[in-house]
Amino acid sequence: TKYVYDFAEGDRSQKDLLGGKGANLAEMTKLGLPVPPGFTITTEACRAYLTNGAEPAELSSQISDAMAAVEQAMGKQLGDPADPLLVSVRSGAKFSMPGMMETVLNIGLNDQSVAGLTAQSGDDRFAWDSYRRLIQMFGKTVSEVPGEAFEHALDGAKAAKGTKNDLDLDAADLRAIVDAYKKIYSEHVGHDFPQDPREQLEMAVRAVFNSWNAERAVLYRRQERIPAELGTAVNVQTMVFGNLGADSGTGVAFTRDPGTGAQGVYGDYLSNAQGEDVVAGIRNTVPLQDLEQLDKASYDQLMSIMAKLEGHYQDLCDIEFTIERGKLWMLQTRVGKRTAAAAFIIATQLVDEGVIDLDEALQRVNGAQLAQLMFPHFDLSGNPTHLANGLSASPGAAVGKAVFDSGRATEQAAAGQKVILVRKETTPDDLPGMIAAEGILTSRGGKTSHAAVVARGMGKTCVCGAEALDVDIAGQKFTTDGQTINEGDVISIDGSTGKVYLGEIPVQPSPVVQYFEGTVAADADTLVAAVHRLISHADGARKLGVRTNADTGEDASRARRFGAEGIGLCRTEHMFLGDRRELVERLILADTEQEQEQALAALLPLQRGDFVEIFEAMDGQPVTVRLIDPPLHEFLPPLEELAVRVALAQERGQDPGRDKTLLAAVHRMHEQNPMLGLRGVRLGLVIPGLFDMQVRAIAEAAVERIKAGGDPKAEIMVPLVGAVQELETVRQEAEAVLKDVAERSGVDVPALIGTMIEVPRAALTAGQIAEAAEFFSFGTNDLTQMGWGFSRDDVEGAFFGRYLEQGIFGVSPFETIDADGIGRMVKIAVAEGRAARPDLKIGVCGEHGGDPESVHFFHHAGLDYVSCSPFRVPVARLEAGRAAG
């Protein structure tokens, strides 16, 4: 097996094998860009190592061959005492996992070759600094020496020198630090720092393989839904140095602003530094534009390379580069991560530039990004206290209590607190706290710092590089401008402007929501215009209809403004709450048929009024009204409450009256498993007149609307059907009621009668059920509940946390449809339902109807529409369009 690829051998299509970084290094090499020579060890080698606990036998000799080729290209030998070739060893998985895995630089340095590096560079400070970096990185990542041990020694040396700046340390200081580091290394590891360059290389490669299963990498993969079995590739690359003096430096750049999508060149540059310094955000960078003054030739070359890369990849690229004594080197490129707003703006810009078409642009954005753009912003009209300005690293408006370490953040969040994680800078160790926090605030680092990159990836609000903040982690506080903010004080951070405020600031809606609401025009700003264009294109492309779940006229109207093409689920149970609850009680407690009829008769006009309102809001569009579904005792007071009331009354010698009757009823109606009990169609069959009343209310409302010149399109839906006989019985009665209303009113009421498919048996006998149903709507909430046997009301708190942690599933099946299991039932029901009734209309109204991944599933399953909550309607429209593309 070929486990090692020279950069000149691969290309960008080989991300599976070479990882993203390796594939793109190969692509840049192919494009003739100045890439330091090197090679990639494949993900296949990593998988073999992780499975067998040992490297594949052929790997070592393949590395030797590849190394020999690099040595030949460079005219140097790895670790040669006279003139050492040095290499970096970096991870690079198929999907970018920023900072999650290991990197070791300066492999090849040892007690001898440090002299060679001194001689060749003419800079002994640089050589010793490189050596100390190697021991520090290697010690920490390969041999698991605690990083603080090294940092402590370094800080000590700086303190002795009376400085805080690494650059004030001279060669002799660094040499002493190397000695100290070597001691630290052997004390912690039990043997000396390896001097053999080849041994260094092999140990580093193995450490990268192992880092695939590091705790933080596992956590990140789960968050980002990256499959655990992919493994990482390892890139071994000739070192070039940005820390060889003022004519050297390193930077990160984007071909467009990844925060706003604005065209132009955007980036951070740090002179006389190595790449890790920029990414870690340890020192503050200067804007890339300043490089033009510092080194015009390199700047111009960089600009032309960036233009070439953007043209080649046809998308925003981010790059890492290093300038070594005036010579530019490209260390990395990839299609860059970007904020949600930038994704929409860039996609449409590229269309305008003629680079891609609208179909492709639609694939460059997604529903999760659109959902993010529908987040609210701060309302600053109250003139809040402004604490500091930072960089707008990741948009959104976050409010929470300041906390200063990852552990506190997770603790407080678990206790239900909203927190903002405040750090000087973040490292991969802070990841759990970043996940738990509402937002992240740092005092150091640019838009490409760890905090910024990770927050953007998670869609979490982040302000970074707020330099005015003096963050005191040990003291759990920060000070700025004479003010002190302690742990627990509430702050507000605006990731779109970079501003930090004291206290809780009210939030206002997003312009994208206002556009959907119709209160701002489609050309109001670049972002709104981009959203308008792409969602319109999605509407033109999609095969799925998009409806909404709404039970009030108000929700229906909003959803309609958001683009809903009807109601897919109007839950009628909400219409029995509030002051109507008493009527339901009367119905439940009725002793005689007459009392029951009276209660229903009192409910009828109220229900009719609700339906009139909804039909009016959705005029001309279908409205699926579902007959009452939950167990009736949900409308009665809770057992404990009643029992206490009755006991209290009796103790005081009073008559508990009605409470006593209610208590008896609650006892009588008690079920061990109410979700599997008397609910849905079963209620309709057991309680005479209940469904009839609802059907009559629907029909009479429709008549009223027709008489008023409206165009109601009623669809009557029966819940929880498991057998066609249930549906047939209800259907016959419903048809009789419809006929009666038509005769009495003289108005013909066209209404479809159909059913939910939410009991597994219904899905598996869909062919029979379709004989009696004019439409199906998948209730994937109950279908998931009953298919998995997971109580939808209990699992999230009880054990889903553990399930997610252990990777039993990557996401809750109540959130994203379980395509293999529950989805299989959906497919069976679609096929058998349509076979029995070719014009059967099929939709879904469970929560999954608004979940991006699930929308794609329903598209491919051939449904006619999805139905979701009003706010998710735009997301569903966009994803339905993408699914069809």
Q: Which residues bind ligand PEP (CB under 6 A)?
A: 569, 571, 629, 758, 779-782, 845-846
CA atoms lying within 13 Å on the CB side of residue 699: 26
List residues with catalytic annotation.
450, 845
Q: Identify which of residues 453 and 570 has a Cβ nearer to ligand PEP in the complex.
A: 570
Backbone region of residue 209 per phi and psi (left: phi > 0; alpha: psi in -120 to 50; beta: other values): alpha
* String marking each residue 739-778 x if it binds Mg ion according to CB under 5 A: -------------------x--------------------
Instruction: Please give the structure tokens belonging to residue 691.
Output: 């469904």
Q: Identify which of residues 527 and 569 has a Cβ nearer to ligand PEP in the complex.
A: 569
| 63-84 CB burial, b ≥16 within 10 A, e <16 | beebbebbbebbebbbbbeeeb
Q: CB under 5 A: which stretch of 120-128, 685-693, 780-788, 819-827 binds Mg ion? A: 780-788
* Least distance to ligand PEP, CB of residue 758, Å: 5
* Least distance to ligand PEP, CB of residue 288, Å: 51
707 membership: H or E segment, kind and range: helix 690-707
Backbone region of residue 75 per phi and psi (left: phi > 0; alpha: psi in -120 to 50; beta: other values): left
Nearest to 819 by CA among 853, 869, 793: 853
Q: Identify which of residues 38 and 779 has a Cβ nearer to Mg ion in the complex.
A: 779
Q: Does 782 bind Mg ion (CB under 5 A)?
A: yes
Q: Identify which of residues 226 and 766 has a Cβ nearer to ligand PEP in the complex.
A: 766
> Which stretches within 190-244 are classed as H helix?
197-211, 215-224
* Least distance to ligand PEP, CB of residue 573, Å: 8
What is d(CA 452, CA 186) in angstroms, rounded to the nearest whole number? 36
Instruction: Please give the structure tokens belonging to residue 301.
Output: 């070359």
Count of Cβ atoms closer than 10 Å to residue 579 Cβ: 7
Nearest to 134 by CA among 241, 291, 49: 241
Q: Distances in Å between the alpha carbon of 443 and those of 356, 412, 451?
A: 39, 22, 11
Helices vs. strands in the chain: H and E counts, helices first: 36, 33
For residue 719, give the amino acid letter.
P
* Least distance to Mg ion, CB of residue 758, Å: 5
Q: DSSP for 683-702, please give it.
A: HHHHSTTHHHHHHHHHHHHH
Instruction: Please give the structure tokens belonging to residue 456.
Output: 């953007």
Closest-approach residue to Mg ion (CB): 782
What is d(CA 213, CA 50) in angstroms, rounded to the nearest whole number? 9
* Least distance to ligand PEP, CB of residue 571, Å: 6
- 88 forms beta bridges with 237
Instruction: Please give the structure tokens belonging to residue 885.
Output: 């593309």
> Which stretches within 797-864 are classed as H helix?
801-805, 822-836, 852-860
Q: Is 482 annotated as a binding residue?
A: no
Q: Does 779 bind Mg ion (CB under 5 A)?
A: yes
| 774-796 CB burial, b ≥16 within 10 A, e <16 | bbbbbbbebbbbbbbebebeebe
Q: Identify which of residues 792 and 859 has a Cβ nearer to Mg ion in the complex.
A: 792
Q: Identify which of residues 299 and 800 has a Cβ nearer to ligand PEP in the complex.
A: 800
- With CB under 5 to 8 Å by kind, the binding choice for 845 among ligand PEP, Mg ion, none is ligand PEP
Q: Does 847 bind Mg ion (CB under 5 A)?
A: no
* Least distance to Mg ion, CB of residue 761, Å: 14
Q: Is 779 annotated as a binding residue?
A: yes
Q: Does 818 bind Mg ion (CB under 5 A)?
A: no
Cβ atoms of 461 and 493 closer than 8 Å? yes
Q: Identify which of residues 279 and 822 has a Cβ nearer to ligand PEP in the complex.
A: 822
3-state secondary structure 110-155: CCCHHHHHHHHHCCHHHHHHHHHHHHHHHHHHHCCCCHHHHHHHHH
- With CB under 5 to 8 Å by kind, the binding choice for 569 among Mg ion, ligand PEP, none is ligand PEP
Instruction: Please give the structure tokens belonging to residue 799.
Output: 């054990």
Phi, psi angle pair for 483, to nearest 5°:
-100, 145
What is d(CA 406, CA 450) in angstroms, rounded to the nearest whole number? 14
Cβ atoms of 447 and 268 closer than 8 Å? yes
* Least distance to ligand PEP, CB of residue 289, Å: 54
Cβ atoms of 361 and 343 closer than 8 Å? no
Q: Identify which of residues 393 and 783 has a Cβ nearer to ligand PEP in the complex.
A: 783
Q: Is 780 annotated as a binding residue?
A: yes
* Least distance to ligand PEP, CB of residue 814, Å: 9
Q: Is 626 annotated as a binding residue?
A: yes
What is d(CA 587, CA 609) in angstroms, rounded to the nearest whole number? 19
* Least distance to ligand PEP, CB of residue 97, Å: 35
Q: CB under 5 A: which stretch of 217-225, 728-736, 781-789, 821-829 binds Mg ion? A: 781-789
Q: Is 571 annotated as a binding residue?
A: yes
Q: Identify which of residues 629 and 818 has a Cβ nearer to ligand PEP in the complex.
A: 629
Count of Cβ atoms closer than 10 Å to residue 589 Cβ: 16
Cβ atoms of 87 and 77 closer than 8 Å? no
- With CB under 5 to 8 Å by kind, the binding choice for 846 among ligand PEP, Mg ion, none is ligand PEP
* Least distance to Mg ion, CB of residue 391, Å: 46
- With CB under 5 to 8 Å by kind, the binding choice for 413 among ligand PEP, Mg ion, none is none
Q: Identify which of residues 127 and 762 has a Cβ nearer to ligand PEP in the complex.
A: 762
865 membership: H or E segment, kind and range: strand 865-868
Interface ranges with Mg ion (CB under 5 A) = 758, 779, 782
Annotated binding-site members for substrate? 571, 626, 758, 779-782
Bind-site residues for Mg(2+) = 758, 782
Binding-site residue set:
571, 626, 758, 779-782
